[in-house]
Amino acid sequence: MPRRLSPLLCASAKQQVINYGTKSEQQAQTEYAFEMACSNIRFGEGVTREVGMDCKSLGHKVCVMTDRNLAKLPPVQTVLESLEVHKVPYKLYDRSRVEPTNESFQDAIDFAKSEDFDVFLAVGGGSVMDTCKAANLYSSNPSAGFLDYVNAPIGKGLPVTHTVKPLIAVTTTAGTGSETTGVAVFDYLPMKAKTGIASRVLRPTLGIVDPDHLRTLPERVAAYSGIDVLCHAIESMTCVPYKERLPRPENPNLRPAYQGCNPISDIWAKHALTIASKYIKRAVFDPEDSEARSQMHLASCYAGIGFGNAGCHLCHGMSYPISGLVRNFKSSDYSQDHPLIPHGLSVVISAPAVFSFTASACPRETPGGSTALRC
Ligand SMILES: NC(=O)c1ccc[n+]([C@@H]2O[C@H](COP(=O)([O-])OP(=O)(O)OC[C@H]3O[C@@H](n4cnc5c(N)ncnc54)[C@H](O)[C@@H]3O)[C@@H](O)[C@H]2O)c1
């Protein structure tokens, strides 16, 4: 296997040293293909009201997952109203942890196993969407052990071969792009390390991007999740090109979700970057600026499609030990009863140094050209 800068989710950076024999031996083994995958996305103000009809056509009983804060807010109320209008039976789980852990994932998995759900519906930011993906994955294969699908080396990294239930993700932050990705991230408490589960089957069946939901987004959450968008975009543009990845998979099913940068992921990432750089400040500091918040919601989705197929690298890789080692830190605007370092904050801490490094290594591919990106 190629040596990775992070044992977690990230594609390795261009500077890695791999010993795969002579140049021609390497060429025979390197990847020659990439594949684009994405959830169906529905975008529009107020479009969440359609979700009852989607659920009705997908199955009978719906597992709605959210967190305790969002359970009191309009995004969840709109979803539940739509289910009731369309007479769709559901059960609500509101214990998703902000910054999930293996324990909080397990709690959600146990809830999902307690009933025979036909459809999963996540209403929230990355924490809720990732919790819902894990609940769907493990409840669809009750005999799986928790570490079976967790990324190696923490877990066994087994490929998912069973079918999961349809999952609709209504995203309420801008954001992680989790509504487009086959990834679920969590803290593995026994090792104080953040890791994840990555498989195309985790990708939501439908991502609902409804900018109405950003009206209640607090300033710090808008800032940290907005920074996450920027870093997703830049990291996916500057990670290892797919053709340099070793070894070429023996079976297309084994081609990883994070394949390295490629011409299509570059388009999404660059477009996300253009939008985010224009609107991020307005979206953070003026919650009434619906144009800016709506554009950031789109940018987060675009960046998700980019990094969901290319991967991230150093900022995200290094964010995991940073957030995994949290002791007392709490951030205002994050509803929580436990210390946490918001994901976007843990990512951006290393960003200035990382992009100075990638800029000098690959000036053409780093925004800002041959000079370091100003973060
Ligand atoms: N799966 C992926 O592809 C992926 C990608 C990046 C990050 N992540 C993970 O996502 C998590 C971070 O997610 P996030 O940044 O979206 O935030 P979050 O889901 O952790 O939510 C942060 C806070 O904002 C609140 N909130 C969310 N939406 C709101 C709204 N519309 N109005 C009011 N309050 C709202 C939540 O209740 C919570 O208190 C991290 O665990 C990170 O590792 C996953």
Q: Which of 156, 168, 161 is nearest to 137 (CA)?
A: 161
- Per the model's pLDDT, the better-predicted residue between 333 and 291 turns out to be 291
Task: Tell me how far the alpha carbon of residue 44 lies from the centroid of ligand 1, in angstroms.
Answer: 20
Torsion of CA 131, 132, 137, 142, to 10 degrees: 90
Task: Tell me how far the alpha carbon of residue 128 lies from the centroid of ligand 1, in angstroms.
Answer: 7
- Is any atom of ligand 1 closer than 6 Å to the C-beta of 196? no
- Is any atom of ligand 1 closer than 6 Å to the C-beta of 235? no
Position 5 scores a pLDDT of: 34
* Residue spans in the chain of domains classed CATH 3.40.50.1970: 40-216
| Angstrom distances, CA of residue 101 to CA of 195, 286, 347 | 9, 32, 18
Query: Taking 60 as the threshold, does the pLDDT of residue 374 lie above it?
Result: no
Q: Which residues of 76-91 are buried (b: 16+ CB within 10 A; e: fewer)?
A: bebbbebbeebebebe
Cis peptide before 367 (omega within 30 of 0): no
Phi/psi of residue 92, nearest 5 degrees: -100, 130
Contacts of 364 (CB under 8 A, 6+ apart): none
Atom in ligand 1 nearest the alpha carbon of residue 224: 15
Position 110 scores a pLDDT of: 98
- Is any atom of ligand 1 closer than 6 Å to the C-beta of 335? yes
**How would you class 228 by CB atoms within 10 Å of its CB: exposed for 0-12, middle for 13-18, buried for 19 or more?**
buried
Beta bridge partners of 168: 121, 206
Architecture of the domain delimited by 40-216: 3-Layer(aba) Sandwich (3.40)
Confidence of residue 7 (pLDDT cuts 50, 70, 90): very low
* Residue spans in the chain of domains classed CATH 1.20.1090.10: 23-34+218-361
Task: Tell me how far the alpha carbon of residue 173 lies from the centroid of ligand 1, in angstroms.
Answer: 6
Which CATH number among 1.20.1090.10, 3.30.870.10, 3.40.50.720, 3.30.70.20 corresponds to the domain 23-34+218-361?
A: 1.20.1090.10
Query: Taking 90 as the threshold, does the pLDDT of residue 257 lie above it?
Result: no
Query: Taking 80 as the threshold, does the pLDDT of residue 315 lie above it?
Result: yes
